[in-house]
Amino acid sequence: MTSSSNDSLFILVKSLSKSEKRQFKLYVNRLGVNADAKFLALFNLLDKMSTYNEPEILKSGIVKKQQLSNLKAHLYKQILVSLRLNPVNQNIRIQIREQLDFATILYHKGLYKQSLKILDKAKAQAIENQEKVIAYEIVELEKVIETQYITRSISGRADELAVQAKDLSRQNVLTSKLSNLSLQLYGIMLKFGYVKSDQEYRWITDYYLAHMPDFKMSDLGFRERLWLYKAQLWYSFLTQDFLSCYKYSAKWVQLFYDNEPMIYLNPVFFLKGNNYLLESLFFVRNRGGFKESLERLEATIAGKKFPVNDNLETLSFLYINSNKINLHFMEGTFQEGLKLEPEILKGIKLHDNRLDEHHVMLFYYKLACLYFGTGDNRSCIRYLKMIIENKNLSMREDLMCFARILSLVAHYEAGMDYHLELQLKSTYKFLLKMNDLHEVQKEIIKFLRGLGEIYPHEIRKEFKKLHKTLKRYENHPYEKRAFLYLDILSWLESKIENKPVGEIIREKAAELIR
């Protein structure tokens, strides 16, 4: 039996807004379909269900088991057609493709001049909006018409089309090479994570340079520059060069602000670029730039021109709230940050079908860190437990790793150290298994393992010793990442100075402003 979690039709029906459901029913009526048509009856039944229930569908008598698959496929297609006709889902890209379809129909009817007229307007619109792949398709159809029929539309037409086709092909090939490199670097990031040694650094650098195509910066248009900045950004992330991450993500975002119509044509890339910029600013601890970029992003999303759809609402929720928490981390305002918790939990539930599990777990980790910063270690442990017990985080083993280490520290802080030895062994085995045992992690585990043998009056001296040891790795090229996930140095300083960890971080933030 198909479950609600992976039945595509059920998920699509449940994703529809009230206006989209109303539009679908109006669309069905315009088709002249009987109100009792099977696919409409199936739509109404699915709309009423809270979870997908195939036996209930069969019991309703709408359709026999052998016909259900075909009926579902038909309904799925009709919903997509209805959504495509909805003005909310119209954009330049869809409009250009629609014009290409119209021109193709006219061509097949033998109305060649009418077809060419539409193609010429669509091509100009495509080039203006950097839709060069569609523009190339249009030129190819123009070539077909011109070579098969004597239209005498423009003198020297053949040469003009040949030059256009060659130029667009060259630009599309360059875009393809840059997008391939960006995607391959992202794939390496997911599979292997950040570089961990000089050998890995040399390998990824050689790979990056070998796959970077030759080009002149002055020849690059919007789309080519976008993919170039993406590739440069992913290489910088892989090599943990966070200043370069900031440099290229800032170029990515500024590219959109310099070409404002592209924000509304490619809103997903715009949002992602801003998220990487904010992440980079967080890594380099540029609080002023972070606040300014976050406020600018929120203002753009709230603007009347910014598109509204389910996907963009989900991404906006994810990026805005995740970075709001990061700002509280930078400022040490943990208690204030916890005010975001109800809204985040509500949003996770609202966007359940579109938020992947990794991002949900990342929210839980951030909430755990907020609770840890306020000293509420039991609430911290509660969120960490949801991450540690999750068996589907193979793509984010780094998150699992630091969740386990923070859990050890939180258990110690909460005085719940009766199972600490068992947890230490479990965490150590996990780290060895994932082959991600860095020096910082080794030192923390070694310290926690030896706590039982330290006399109370000696504990402050041991905290100082661990702090001195870890401080050496704060700017280490392959170890510094650990401090981005877990501000262990501020925690140790709070233990040494007998101050709340939030106060330590606020003092550091104040120092950065001076």
What is the spatial distance between Cα 127 and Cα 492, in angstroms, rounded to a whole number?
A: 57
The C-alpha angle 271, 351, 293, rounded to 5 degrees, equals 25
If phi > 0 it is left, if psi is from -120 to 50 it is alpha, else beta; for residue 177 that is alpha
- On the 0-12 / 13-18 / 19+ scale of CB atoms within 10 A, 118 is buried
* pLDDT at residue number 514: 46
Which amino acid type is present at position 132? K
Of 165 and 484, which is predicted with more confidence? Answer: 165
Task: Please report, rounded to a whole number, the percentage of residues in the chain having pLDDT higher than 70.
Answer: 91
* pLDDT at residue number 446: 79
* pLDDT at residue number 452: 67
Indicate if the pLDDT at residue 211 is higher than 50.
yes
What is the spatial distance between Cα 171 and Cα 155, in angstroms, rounded to a whole number?
A: 26
Chain-centroid distance, C-alpha 104: 36
Token pair in block for residue 403: 């969740």
* pLDDT at residue number 356: 84
Chain-centroid distance, C-alpha 156: 47
pLDDT digits (tens, 9 = 90+) for 377-427: 899 999 999 998 887 655 566 778 888 888 888 888 887 766 667 777 777
Indicate if the pLDDT at residue 36 is higher than 70.
no
* pLDDT at residue number 243: 94
If phi > 0 it is left, if psi is from -120 to 50 it is alpha, else beta; for residue 61 that is left
pLDDT digits (tens, 9 = 90+) for 448-478: 777 667 766 777 888 888 888 888 888 888 7
* pLDDT at residue number 397: 65
CB 506 within 8 A of CB 335: no
Average pLDDT, the chain: 86
CB 502 within 8 A of CB 333: yes
User: For the whole model, what pTM was predicted?
Assistant: 0.82
- List the one residue out of 168, 170, 114 whose CA is nearest residue 145: 114
Average pLDDT over residues 502-506: 81
What is the spatial distance between Cα 343 and Cα 263, in angstroms, rounded to a whole number?
A: 27
Indicate if the pLDDT at residue 234 is higher than 90.
yes
What is the spatial distance between Cα 46 and Cα 39, in angstroms, rounded to a whole number?
A: 10
pLDDT digits (tens, 9 = 90+) for 305-319: 998 888 899 999 999
CB 309 within 8 A of CB 83: no
* pLDDT at residue number 65: 86
Indicate if the pLDDT at residue 195 is higher than 60.
yes
Indicate if the pLDDT at residue 26 is higher than 90.
no
DSSP 457: G
In Å, the largest CA–CA distance within the chain is 97
Indicate if the pLDDT at residue 1 is higher than 50.
no
Token pair in block for residue 123: 């091509």
| Highest mean pLDDT pick, 149-153, 204-208, 506-510 | 204-208
Of 246 and 62, which is predicted with more confidence? Answer: 246
Average pLDDT over residues 195-212: 92
- List the one residue out of 474, 391, 492 whose CA is nearest residue 438: 474
One-character DSSP codes across 165-233: HHHHHHHHHHHHHHHHHHHHHHHHHHHH-S--SHHHHHHHHHHHHHHPPP--GGG--HHHHHHHHHHHH
* pLDDT at residue number 89: 65
The C-alpha angle 365, 366, 371, rounded to 5 degrees, equals 95
What is the spatial distance between Cα 255 and Cα 233, in angstroms, rounded to a whole number?
A: 14
One-character DSSP codes across 467-480: HHHHHTTTT-TTTT
pLDDT tier, 205 (very low <50, low <70, confident <90, very high otherwise): very high
- List the one residue out of 211, 300, 194, 189 whose CA is nearest residue 254: 300
Of 210 and 85, which is predicted with more confidence? Answer: 210
Average pLDDT over residues 247-261: 96
* pLDDT at residue number 368: 94
* pLDDT at residue number 485: 73
